[in-house]
Structure 1
Amino acid sequence: MLFSASPSPSLARIASQSEDFCVRRSSRLVHGSSRRISSRRRSITVASVNISVDDVAQVFENKVLISAALACSIGQLSKPFTSALSGNGLDLGAVIRSGGMPSTHSAGVMAATTCLGLERGFSDPIFGVSAIFALFVMYDAQGVRREVGRHAKNLNKMAMLKRERSRVFQEKTNLVGNYARSASPSLESVDGADQEQLTIDEIGFNRLEESVGHTEVQVIAGAILGFLVSFGVELLLS
């Protein structure tokens, strides 16, 4: 009697599963080695990057940087003239100071934001991030920084009054001392408890900068300046 030599279904299933496992194992090893080789190639490529003059020159083709820098430059250079128009005289030092008309911070961020919108589209997420950043900067310019300028102005007034009172008190003390010495030559000096107090000059108080923030009009003027500059740069470089 002859028996069939064909394998059972369970043995065939086990053999098939082991074969699939070996294939998957070998494919994983191949993919892992290829990823390691590609990562090594990327690291070698990054380590051997050479920055040429042409790469640096491309910075000057960036419309966002050009618009922001040009808007800030125009804003700062126009401050002495706007100071003269407001009746404060031609203040050349305003070129290197913050505050004044127009707001350079507002001009720079608005120019960058507008240029990003024109370049990438107003639905681009990067434009949205830049617009939020611009709103924060402009709000801070007429909010927190403006209050800092007000505090500095009040502190300067208090220091000036304190200095004037110290000078008057010193003159009165010297006058009383001279009169006492002339009336009684044996009296050497007149020392008061207030003479031992430190004056403003002895403390080393320096006048604080009052022109730090901006008014709402200055912020709006800076934003309009940045908007117009970005449009001009876009038209010239497009």
Structure 2
Amino acid sequence: MSIFNNFPLIAALSSIILAQFVKVPLYLITSKSLNIRLGFSTGGMPSSHSAAVSSLTTAIGISEGLASSLFAISVVVSAITMYDAAGIRRHAGMHASFLNRLAKTIPSMSQQEPNRMELKELLGHRPIEVFAGAVFGIIISILLKFVFFA
């Protein structure tokens, strides 16, 4: 079997790429501002991490069956990944935002390090972004199955 015939792998990778691509026009529509960097960064709508794991899980469920061990493993890994995206990574981004603002208000910090780089704030996702990524990934897997892997 060729790697190009591996439906779960193709579905997951396609979902990551498409979710990252979709972030740019969605941001343009909602904020009236073009930000191409969103296509290459973490965070934003939809969650590409959620899209990838839900797409992988869906493809495994279709290919191997819902009673398979592979499907069970994929469900658990997906749940952990999505919980992490909306929980720990989101809170790390909130902490980065607070620390960036704090560093700007303390004169001694900004004088000692004039070239200080700010911490990246867009790390995780709001729950709606995780949910949208999950739905996006499921749809991508179903479409790929019927169009290319039927």
Common fold, TM-score beyond 0.5? yes
1:171 — aligned with what? Answer: none
Amino acid at match of 1:61: N
In the superposition, relative to structure 1, how do residues 118 and 201 fare at CA in structure 2: closer, same or farther (>3 Å)? farther
CA distance in 2 between counterparts of 1:120 and 1:142 reads 29
Are residues 1:142 and 2:52 paired?
no
Amino acid at match of 2:71: F
Using structure 2 for the length normalisation, give the TM-score. Answer: 0.93
Q: What secondary structure, in the 3-state scheme, does the structure 2 residue paired with 1:86 have? A: helix
Of 34, 43, 52, the residue aligned with 1:108 is 52
CA distance in 1 between counterparts of 2:111 and 2:29 reads 35
CA RMSD of aligned residues (A): 1.4
Q: What secondary structure, in the 3-state scheme, does the structure 1 residue paired with 2:117 have? A: coil
Shift of 1:85: 2.3
| 1:3-14 → structure 2 map (5 Å cutoff) | none
Of 38, 42, 66, the residue aligned with 1:94 is 38
Shift of 1:115: 0.3
User: Identical aligned pairs, as a percentage?
Assistant: 31
CA distance in 1 between counterparts of 2:137 and 2:88 reads 22
Amino acid at match of 1:60: F
In the superposition, relative to structure 1, how do residues 127 and 201 fare at CA in structure 2: closer, same or farther (>3 Å)? farther
The list of structure 1 runs, each at least 4 consecutive aligned residues, that deviate by more than 4 angstroms after superposition, is none
Amino acid at match of 2:31: G
Of 140, 153, 158, the residue aligned with 2:102 is 158
Are residues 1:124 and 2:124 paired?
no
2:110 — aligned with what? Answer: 200
CA distance in 2 between counterparts of 1:230 and 1:201 reads 52
**Aligned length in residues:** 148
Shift of 1:127: 0.3
Shift of 1:201: 4.7
Shift of 1:88: 5.8
User: C-alpha deviations, 1:40-72, integer Å up to 9, x for none?
Assistant: xxxxxxxxxxxxxxx7xx111110111001111
Amino acid at match of 1:220: F
1:210 — aligned with what? Answer: 121
User: C-alpha deviations, 1:102-136, integer Å up to 9, x for none?
Assistant: 00000000000000000010000110010010000
Show structure 1 runs of 5+ residues with no match.
1-54, 167-197
1:226 — aligned with what? Answer: 137
1:46 — aligned with what? Answer: none
